[in-house]
Amino acid sequence: MVRAVVGANWGDEGKGKMTDLLASESDIVVRFQGGSNAGHTIINNYGKFALHLLPSGVFYDHVTNVLGPGVALSMKILLDELENLENRGVPSPRLLISERTQVLMPWHVLFDIREEERLGSRQFGSTKSGIAPFYSDKYYKTGIQLCEVYNRKLLKEKLVSICQVKNLLLKALYNAKPVDVDMVYNELVTIGQKISHMVCDTTSFLHGALKDGKRILLEGQLGALKDPDHGIYPFTTSSSPLAGYAAVGAGIPPYEIKSIIAVVKAYSSCVGTGPFVTEIHGDEAAELRERGGDAGEYGATTGRPRRMGWFDAVATRYGCMIQGATEIALTLLDVLGYLDTIPVCIGYEIDGKVIKDFPVTCMLEKAKPVYKEFPGWKYDISRIREYEALPENAKRYVEFIESYVNIPIKWISNGPRRENIIRKI
Ligand code: GDP
């Protein structure tokens, strides 16, 4: 049985918490795209963790964690994260890394930083983790697969050839220092040795697991609206965070994915630039930001304050649609307990016309939100465990979202901890 946990919004929906929760009833947790450019916050018996690259199943000793071929592997960050777990008393996790996974190189980070600097006020708000240059190289066929790190002759040849071009570009575009091929080579070989016991053919492993009836959880990063094809291009990420891509990035047959859990946030937040129709500003935004998440809405990777907004039903319905969601986990509902009334965006006004279907980016930039106001519940709901026990106004809010998006809400998360969960049947 394969399930996918994916974001329906702009990321930071609380997927880490949901994956951590669902991992307890899974045998395998797989990351299928992205790299260390986003963080999943998990709070459990060991403490609070911001995982960037490791799958969220690493806290369970019965779970095998997999980094699939679609992931951008920063070997150094991987080692740091593993070391951090060890230092904080987490038993060494079971982790497998696909030999086909490509390696994030030092120049990817350099180009990411330099290009954002060059763009100045037109920058995309990259996390500067090297993700866009990484995926560009992958599709330009100048990437390095992890298996190649263990073929020293091939590795050296490829590095020399790639760096010839990279160094020319670094100098010409940014007047930056060249990359030292030998240094990169030595570092790759050294770190490669440290992780070699985890590197294998994860595709065959997963197909074997499917035959054995194992429970597999696919863990997405970011959210549907950041998808390069279907999201708010070009303010998107560089790999697809969609459940449909999970089959490709993990290496399993698409028809095996039986359930797609779209994680939906009860209000909106967004990192990076780009149109954000329900964005709020000033004190109103500051209050929601401070009350949001488990300790305010700040990027788990960058620490940047997140842009805040009211719930956008138009964007969420679209996000769930392109994810192919079969069920919704509505998160962070507890955060809204301070409000007298809660606006929900139910349409976009563009050039005097109200639309309900999520448009392309150049139209989105002109969109003004059409709000419906809901009465707040003015109550701390974080200790509630039964749906029926929620205040009537909270149920009204949930049921409106469910009917607008037209996908069953099966989970309501009302706090950052594992136990803060309501199963709504
Ligand atoms: P992810 O990238 O989708 O995993 O999301 P993040 O970890 O970046 O952001 C979610 C934030 O909300 C984290 O700080 C979580 O600890 C926190 N969180 C998750 N679910 C809930 C919830 O239901 N209520 C509250 N108050 N915080 C939550």
Task: Give the model's pLDDT for residue 38.
Answer: 77
pLDDT digits (tens, 9 = 90+) for 178-203: 999 999 999 999 999 999 999 999 99
Q: Which of 27, 40, 108, 230 is catalytic?
A: 40
Q: Which atom of ligand 1 is nearest to the CA of 19?
A: 4
Q: How far is CA 31 from the centre of its chain?
A: 10
Look at the pTM and tell me if it is higher than 0.75: yes
Same domain, 333 and 249: no
> What pLDDT was estimated at residue 123?
79
Q: What is the distance between the alpha carbons of residues 33 and 186, in angstroms, rounded to a whole number?
A: 27
Which helix or strand (DSSP H or E) is residue 43 part of? Answer: strand 40-44
Give per-residue pLDDT as tens, 83-104: 999 999 999 999 999 999 999 9
| Rounded average pLDDT over 248-263 | 98
* 48 Cα nearest atom in ligand 1: 16
Tally of CB atoms within 10 A around 367: 22
For residue 104, report the distance from its CA to the centre of ligand 1, in Å.
27
Q: Given ligand 1 and candidates 294, 411, 417, 418, which is best to mutate, with the most ligand atoms within 8 Å of its CB?
A: 294
Distance of CA 136 to the CA centre of its chain: 19
Kindly tell me if the per-residue pLDDT of 221 is higher than 90.
yes
Looking at the fold, whether 287 and 385 belong to one and the same domain comes out as yes
Of 204, 202, 218, 221, nearest to 97 by C-alpha is 202
The mean predicted confidence, pLDDT, of the chain is: 95
Q: Which of 226, 207, 244 minimizes the C-alpha distance to 34?
A: 226
- Whether 117 shows a pLDDT value over 90: the answer reads no
Whether 385 and 247 map to the same domain: the answer is: no
Q: Are residues 56 and 136 in the same domain?
A: no
Q: Counting atoms of ligand 1 from 1, which one is nearest the CA of 13?
A: 3
Q: Are residues 398 and 332 in the same domain?
A: yes
- Give the pLDDT confidence score for residue 39 in this predicted structure: 77
If you measure from the C-alpha of residue 14 to the centroid of ligand 1, how many angstroms do you get, rounded to a whole number? 4
In the reported structure, the alpha carbon of residue 292 is separated from the centroid of ligand 1 by a whole-number distance in angstroms of 8
Q: Are residues 380 and 409 in the same domain?
A: yes
Tell the residue nearest (CA) to atom 17 of ligand 1.
293
Atom of ligand 1 nearest to the CA of 222: 2
Of 195, 230, 253, at which residue does a domain stop? Answer: 195
Q: What is the pLDDT of residue 414?
A: 97
Here the CATH number for the domain that contains residue 369 is 3.90.170.10
AA letter at 419: E
| Domain limit, last residue, from 238, 261, 284 | 261
φ, ψ (nearest 5 deg) of residue 51: -85, 135
Instruction: Tell me, yes or no, whether 278 and 169 share the same domain.
Output: no
> Tell me: the pLDDT tens digits for 120-133?
888 777 778 899 99
pLDDT cut 70: percent of the chain above it: 100
Instruction: Based on the fold, state whether residues 58 and 44 are members of the same structural domain.
Output: yes
Task: Give the CATH number, domain containing residue 155.
Answer: 1.10.300.10
Q: What is the pLDDT of residue 302?
A: 73
Residue with tokens 């919004």: 9
How far apart are the CA of 332 and the centre of ligand 1, in A? Answer: 7
The tens digit of pLDDT for each residue in 327-356 reads 999 999 999 999 999 999 999 999 999 999
- Point out the catalytic residue in the list 12, 20, 112, 334: 12
Beta bridge partners of 396: none
Q: Provide CB contacts within 8 A for 376, sequence distance 6+.
A: 336, 337, 338, 339, 340, 341, 342, 393
295 and 390 in a common domain:
yes
Task: Check whether residue 340 and residue 351 sit in a common domain.
Answer: yes
Report how far ligand 1's centroid is from the alpha carbon of 416 (Å).
6
CATH number for 49 = 3.40.440.10
Query: Concatenated DSSP letters for 147-212?
Result: GGGG-HHHHHHHHHHHHHHHHHHHHHHH-PPPP-HHHHHHHHHHHHHHHGGGEE-HHHHHHHHHHT
Give the per-residue pLDDT at 303.
80
Domain assignment of residue 56, given as a range: 2-98+199-261
Q: Whose CA is nearest to atom 10 of ligand 1?
A: 14
* Structural domain count of the chain: 3
Query: Which atom of ligand 1 is least distant from the CA of 50?
Result: 7
- What are the DSSP calls for 306-344, one per residue? PEEE-EEHHHHHHHHHHHT-SEEEEE-GGGGGG-SEEEE
- According to DSSP, the residues that pair with 200 across neighbouring strands are 98
Q: In 86-133, where do the E strands start and end? A: 94-98, 102-103
Tell me the residue type at 88.
R
List the residue whose alpha carbon is closest to atom 8 of ligand 1: 12
- Which of 195, 224, 243 terminates a domain? The answer is 195
Mutate to test the pocket of ligand 1, among 15, 41, 417 (most ligand atoms within 8 A of CB): 41
**Residues 114 and 77 occupy one common structural domain:** no
User: Within 13 Å of residue 1, how many CA atoms lie on the same side as its CB?
Assistant: 9
Looking at the structure, tell me whether residues 283 and 358 fall in a common domain: yes
Residue to mutate (ligand 1; options 5, 13, 17; most atoms within 8 A of CB): 17
Ligand 1 atom nearest to 42, measured from its CA: 16
Q: Any catalytic annotation for residue 207? A: no
Tell me, in angstroms, the distance from the centre of ligand 1 to residue 116's CA.
28
Residues with CB under 6 A from ligand 1: 7, 11-17, 38-41, 43, 293-294, 300, 331-332, 334-335, 413-416, 420
For 352-394, the pLDDT digits (tens) are: 999 999 999 999 999 999 999 999 999 999 999 999 999 999 9
Q: Is 40 a catalytic residue?
A: yes
Asked if residue 356 lies in contact with residue 347, where contact means CB atoms within 8 angstroms, the answer is: yes
74 alpha carbon – ligand 1 mean position (Å): 24
Q: Stretch 28-56: mean pLDDT, rounded?
A: 91
